[in-house]
């Protein structure tokens, strides 16, 4: 904003303080203040939210399902011939010693509980 330009000519929303935002929220209807994400319980009979899945076919009238190849996701992997794959873990990572696990103490404890 230049000094010659009046403050009313500014573009965009004016900065709002926290107090002003809370007062605005108090003036809104209660239903709009606490608006949560839409769920199928609150929609009309045709509202279907889903879970982000994709339909790869159609349902038949007899309860079956027909896959449509043009709707299926096709993953194209790059050509890795001549590419040296490297491990996610470095070769010089120290190996951890596994503790010896014996079944005998657990089996003896289980037999002691039964008798």
Q: For the segment 31-47, what is each residue's pLDDT rounded down to a tens digit? A: 666 667 788 888 888 88
Which string of b and e fits 15-38 if b means at least 16 CB within 10 Å? eeeeeeeeeeeeeeeeeeeeeeee
pLDDT score at 17: 62
Find where tokens 């003896």 sit.
Answer: 108
Residue 72: helix, strand or coil by DSSP? coil
Distance CA 28, CA 16 (A): 16
pLDDT level of residue 112 (50, 70, 90 thresholds): low
pLDDT score at 67: 94
């Amino acid at each position: 904003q230049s000094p010659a330009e009046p403050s009313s000519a500014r573009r965009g929303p004016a900065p709002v303080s926290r107090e002003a935002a809370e007062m605005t929220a108090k003036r809104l209807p209660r239903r709009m203040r606490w608006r949560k994400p839409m769920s199928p319980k609150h929609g009309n009979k045709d509202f279907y939210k889903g879970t982000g899945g994709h339909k790869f076919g159609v349902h038949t009238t007899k309860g079956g399902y027909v896959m449509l190849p043009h709707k299926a996701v096709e993953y194209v992997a790059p050509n890795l011939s001549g590419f040296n794959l490297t491990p996610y873990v470095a070769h010089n990572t120290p190996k951890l010693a596994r503790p010896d696990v014996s079944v005998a103490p657990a089996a003896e404890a289980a037999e002691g509980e039964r008798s």
